[in-house]
Structure 1
Amino acid sequence: MAAYIEFVPPPECPDWQPPFACDVKSFCFTPRVLRLNELEAMTRVKLDFLDQLGKFWELQGSALRIPVVDGKLLGVYALSKVVSSEGGFEVVTKEKKWSQVGNRMGYQPGKGTGSLLKLHYDRILYPYELFQSGVSLMERNAPRIF
């Protein structure tokens, strides 16, 4: 949905210029193509993911609290996608790729961000991931008896 706004000067002041007006003759910008259908679809997928994650934690009896990393709210959806693209939680942990995950998410290297991301993933996303796959945490952590 697009919107267009036109400011009409008051009738008693035809030369009125709002304080944020720009000089039309010297103003230039580079237009860019936005594929609004793709943006909307991506936003919808992200919102659905966050909604399902929130409902999962609500069913567990606790509210989902998005942590702050490096002064910003953690992009939980982005973290999930990056870890998934790197092979999943176990692979990233086994191969010690958490710093790489942090780099891919735009965090500065060397601040312990990788460890923090691992902690948040383990606490927030991993139980949800196991739930989605049909495995319980008890089954996952139970020792194997041969």
Structure 2
Amino acid sequence: MKSKKNTACCGIYCPDCIHYKNKYSVYALLLKEHLIEINFDKYAKIKSPFGEQFQKYDEFEEVLNALAGTECNWACRVGGGCSGVPCKIMECCFSNEYEGCWDCPEVEGCDKFDFLAPRCGQMPKNNIRKIQKFGLQHWIEHRDNFYIWQK
């Protein structure tokens, strides 16, 4: 039952997520460790013509830490939430004993999806409608693109 395992309560198909089993987190962690090892932060703080572009190193380090920390090796359903952290959608489904939002009679008007909209648009609710129509075993080939920039 691979489709159920990989389908989050919100209708997202986890393997489509940019964070799911990504390589960039591993590379970011290796780079972070190497930069710490060579004290690159100290080099970046020195104002010189050889490193002016490194004056924003603190901002870079913040992004690098975020990249290193977004590794997700398990689908939400089996991993305890996105990157191991349950969201309010998952908590709602579990507290109401729903398999997913497709079991909820109030899903269309639910505002718990708002945090997904900037990246995913209407994909989660569109996927929920497809799960309702085709069933949890057969909806995957009908799913929407994960991110709003994908065509």
* TM-score of the pair, normalised by structure 2: 0.30
More helix by share: 2
* TM-score of the pair, normalised by structure 1: 0.31
Structure possessing the higher relative contact order (Cα contacts under 8 Å, 6 or more residues apart): 2
